[in-house]
Structure 1
Amino acid sequence: MTYGKFAYVYDELMKDVPYDKWVDLVMKNTQKYNIQGKRLLDIACGTGELSIKFAKKGYHVTGVDLSEDMLMVAHSKAADNGMDIQFYQQNMAELEGLGQFDIIGIFCDSLNYLQSEQEVLDTFMHVYEHLDDKGLFIFDVHSIHKILQIFMNQTFTLNDEEISYIWNSYQGEFPNSVEHDLSFFVLDHKSGMYDRYDELHFQRTYPIEIYETWLREAGFEVVEVAADFESVSPQTQSERIIFICRKK
């Protein structure tokens, strides 16, 4: 998944995403686990919305994303905000040469876009290599409940004056996976007509126990598993699973 034209309307479509909750999550756990450094790697940073928010909180942020289009938007937004943030185009499963960090995050269920079990494990291993001793790795994923009961075989729509979309979700090829068939329509102010763009997105998740096994294999200590930005253990109906890990 690289995101094409979608990158240029992403922020408008995602304007209701609770980015501040991820920032609060990182800040709370930075204090809780006595992380002294401020070097933060934002993996799958997209248009840089979270990277900029972290930078405004005093973190020294580096952003990584697979999509060149997303990174072009991120560069522009960081410059507009007067932020000196380094952005790099890399696959999260093949991270290399980025240096060491005190905190590494994969937010907004971005890990679910990896298509294979090996890619997830490779990502964990590369994160481990880039994390300083005792550093924190924080990420979130969709629960199996959300994939199967909320996304599967559902249609979501938005009918707005500037941007509209039709979003159909279907069962994917693998267990606990879903394909999102997205058509969106963007108003061209010059012509007064709407341009149509189509994207196909794939997401796949796994049981919590499988993630924990892979994290331990990569060398991490899983210090906390929570749900939906609450300090509670995941329940049957939980939608977002959050992992807090430390490098041993």
Structure 2
Amino acid sequence: MGSMPSAGKDDLSQVYRDFALVYDEMMRELDYPAWVEHVLYLYQHHTAFPEKAPVRSLLDLACGTGSFMALMQEKGWKVTGVDQSSSMLAIADEKLRPLKGDYRLFAQDLRELAIDEQFPLITCLCDSLNYLLLAGDLQQVLSLIYEHLLPGGIGIVDFNSAYKYREILGDNTFCAVFENSAYIWSNYLEPAARLCRMEIDFFHRDTGELFRHFQETHWQRWYEPAEIQELAEKAGFQQVSCFGGFTHRPCQPEDERLFFVFSK
């Protein structure tokens, strides 16, 4: 069994350094329009601005290569993205620039989030918060989300559930081949610590039939819904709701993904 990694400032910044090269191809089957519609549904039903926000402005944390933000921008939202990976942000900039909308991108550690604006909607999606291995770090990020929300605004985040780690990911190995990349993804659970170590071998087309091989280690932790709610309340949120997957019902033990809505 490996030891729990330190959650130092540089750890998260290295996670997606090379991953950015293959991220979009790996995520091409992700139904981003469905994510947008789900987020907008939750926003419309939980915000204090049901008809129209004072400013249709989104802060997307761990924004990655910006696919979600691009769709939100097309719907008329001003978007601000934060990510630790400059490689991811460079790709996001390439996607957002042709849309000619209003956007800003910041390279920041979520635990040190500092944007000179408050927002009606803040998102952190695709299990990004599972990368926070310490409850104290999660509470810190939730506190910063609270600080950056307008009164009446909401934060929408999602987590991989304990069920997904134990029953779906497990100690299993997955692989996939795409046009310009491939991966072999091996998971190693540490149930007592609620950790999942992911050892990933990537193969990215360099030139012609030549592929470059690189390896990365990712760590994620799962949190129980009650624990997340407690941390959110400590962060200042008075109302916390949890939904199972892309449904509008309360989360259940066998849901693989948990969506939380935090209301300020």
Flag whether TM exceeds 0.5 (same fold).
yes
1:84-163 aligned at under 5 Å gives the runs 84-163=102-181
Matched, 1:182 2:182: no
- Tell me the residue number matched to 2:87: 69
CA distance in 2 between partners of 1:161 and 1:82 (Å): 30
Is the 8 Å Cα contact of residues 121 and 218 (structure 1) preserved in structure 2? yes
Is the 8 Å Cα contact of residues 173 and 184 (structure 2) preserved in structure 1? yes
Matched, 1:18 2:31: yes
CA distance in 2 between partners of 1:48 and 1:172 (Å): 32
CA distance in 1 between partners of 2:190 and 2:34 (Å): 29
CA distance in 1 between partners of 2:160 and 2:148 (Å): 24
Opposite residue 221 of structure 2, the aligned amino acid is: R
Percentage of matched positions with identical amino acids? 33
2:43 to 30, 48, 64: 30
Query: Following TM superposition, by how much is the alpha carbon of 1:150 offset from its aligned partner in structure 2, in angstroms?
Result: 1.2
Query: Following TM superposition, by how much is the alpha carbon of 1:83 offset from its aligned partner in structure 2, in angstroms?
Result: 3.5
Is the 8 Å Cα contact of residues 168 and 180 (structure 1) preserved in structure 2? yes
Query: Following TM superposition, by how much is the alpha carbon of 1:107 offset from its aligned partner in structure 2, in angstroms?
Result: 0.7
Opposite residue 8 of structure 1, the aligned amino acid is: L
Cα deviation, 1:164-211, whole Å, max 9, x if unaligned, reads: 110001124862210111111112234x21111111111112110000
CA distance in 1 between partners of 2:96 and 2:80 (Å): 11
- Tell me the residue number matched to 1:8: 21
CA distance in 1 between partners of 2:165 and 2:87 (Å): 27
Stretch deviating more after TM superposition (48-57 or 23-32): 23-32
CA distance in 1 between partners of 2:190 and 2:197 (Å): 5
Is the 8 Å Cα contact of residues 8 and 73 (structure 1) preserved in structure 2? no
Aligned length: 246
CA distance in 2 between partners of 1:198 and 1:83 (Å): 36
Cα deviation, 1:103-128, whole Å, max 9, x if unaligned, reads: 11111111111121111000011111
The SS at the match of 2:238 is: strand
Change (3 A) 1:8 1:159: closer
Normalised by the size of structure 2, how large is the TM-score?
A: 0.88
The SS at the match of 1:41 is: strand
- Tell me the residue number matched to 2:8: none
Cα deviation, 1:27-73, whole Å, max 9, x if unaligned, reads: 11232234223111000000011111111111111000011111111
Normalised by the size of structure 1, how large is the TM-score?
A: 0.94
- Tell me the residue number matched to 1:80: 98
- Tell me the residue number matched to 1:231: 248
Opposite residue 19 of structure 1, the aligned amino acid is: Y
Opposite residue 7 of structure 1, the aligned amino acid is: A
Q: Which runs of 5+ in 2 are unaligned?
A: 1-11
- The alignment's C-alpha RMSD in Å is 1.6
CA distance in 1 between partners of 2:190 and 2:21 (Å): 26
Cα deviation, 1:84-121, whole Å, max 9, x if unaligned, reads: 31000111111113311011111111111112111100
Is the 8 Å Cα contact of residues 244 and 255 (structure 2) preserved in structure 1? yes
2:234 to 214, 217, 227: 217
1:57 to 75, 94, 113: 75
CA distance in 2 between partners of 1:80 and 1:6 (Å): 24
